[in-house]
Every structure is written in C-alpha cells, then in structure tokens.
Structure 1
Amino acid sequence: MNQHLPEVTMYYAAGISDEGIINGEYIYESIEAANASGLDYTTATWAILKDAVGRGQVYPERIIFTPQGRFIWEVFFNCKEEEEFNIPYKCVYRAVGAPVSFSEAVEYHMFWNKGSELVRIRVEAGMYKAVIKNWNGDVVVIKS
C-alpha cells in the first residue's frame, strides 16, 4: 500500500508580530506554497507534524519526508463502532515500514520523557534505528 502513496516534503512557517508573538502557524504541502506565503519557513519536522494534530491538521494518504525520516499517518480503532463514528483510540505519525513494536517503543519513550526530541529514524542493515535526545542531553537509541 505505502509504495503507491504520494511522497511529499511539508514546510512550516509561523506568522510573528513585531512584538514577537506568534499569530498563526502554517504547514504547506509544497515549496512553492511556502514561498508564496512570504513567511520564513523550514522543513516540517516530526514534532511539528505531531503538534499540528492538536490543531486538527493531519495529512493522511501520503508519505511525508522530514529531517527525522519518512512518516505516514496511522489511525487505529478498537472496535467497529469506533470506526463507524470515526472516533479512533489512537492517531500517530509512524516511520514508514517500521514494525509496530518499534513504533510503539519510540512513542512510549517520547510520551514518558517529556522534552525529549526525536533526532532521526533510519533503516540500517535492515533494522530500524531511532535516535532520541532526552531533555537532559542523554542520547537513547531504540532498534527494531
């Protein structure tokens, strides 16, 4: 399924007032749209995409390139009723092709270690490897 999805790089920009207050956050699906905004922008990171979920911004049915790796929007339902009413129990961006157990280990670490940062997820020698920098500077590696 994933091999047929479009692959995109998203761009993030924030409108900032003269007083330094953020008055709008934007995610663009092309560099042309980011340029047209007239705002300073950067490549959207996994953390930016994750934060956008709280604002109702999700990007399903595409593979998103970020500095941390390639991710896809995943939605999980516990039962048929949740699916019928479109009320999932869990929604996350997960590394494309990674085993569920690996993705859950990364999510668990990030949830319980507030302030940590996902540095990257890569495939090395057929194994998925996540590098996470904890808030105190310690580096944690999770492998599949």
Structure 2
Amino acid sequence: MNAIDYAVTSKHLTSTVVHELLFSTKQMRFIKPIRSDKGLGKLYYKLLDGHYLKFCLYGNKNDVTLKIKLVDIENGEPNENTVFEITADWSIIDQILSDQNAPRILTDFLNMMPAFHGVSRVADTKYEYKNSYEIVWTIRDYIQAKVVQE
C-alpha cells in the first residue's frame, strides 16, 4: 500500500484566511502534517488509502464559509465530496469559541487557525466519535441551530 502526497492550504493574510486540516476517521484525530511551507501557506501530508475528513474555513473581511469534506483515497487517487457547508458572518466564529456547548472538535479546529502570516499548528487530541457521520451531524446540527439564533 503506497502513500500519496496530499497538500492543504493554511494561510492568514491581511484580508483572507484559508484554514484546511485533515482528520483521520480511523484514529479519530487531526493528522499532523509531515511538513509545512509558510511561504506558500501549505501543509503537506502522506496519506494511505482510506477515509478522511477535511475541515475547511474560508474567510474574507465580510464573511466566513465552513465546510467539511469527505476525502476518500482509493488506489492512490483522492476523491473529495462536500458533506456540509455554511456561510455566515465572521461573528459566528467568536460565538462558537465562547460557547461551552460547542462541539470540542469544532472549537479545536477553530483554535488551530493560522496566526497572521503563519500556518496552522495541529494539536494531537483524540476524539470520542463512533464514525465520521457522527462528527458531521454533530457539527451540522450545532451550527445550523447557532445560525437560526442570530
């Protein structure tokens, strides 16, 4: 079984933030990249065939889009499918981070957002979920309820 090279974007510039991290559904933790490139704003991984979640945040000065993608790697070929996406005002990030009832996996992802002109630092935390669907549904239900409250 050969590992493939896979890169995600992780950068925080003056008016934009792109924050993508991979999550292992087998180990139930965010994957630490094998290397990072601050200049290009990239994190690099070596991945085996399997199922992963890709947590994504794309923000500009007005709003932020949160996405969760299912990444399937089969025979060394990655295939991405978006399973959750929502666009909201930036204030939702502060609300989530200050809410004690927010899913820990979501607040940890947001806390790993890259610093200005930096890349993400991945924390090594194991989460207790049965499967990837439980993660997605938990985050989806929480965020949709949060957006309705606004």
Per the normalisation by structure 1, the TM-score is 0.28
Answer 1 or 2: higher relative contact order, Cα 8 Å, separation at least 6. 2
Structure with higher Rg: it is 1
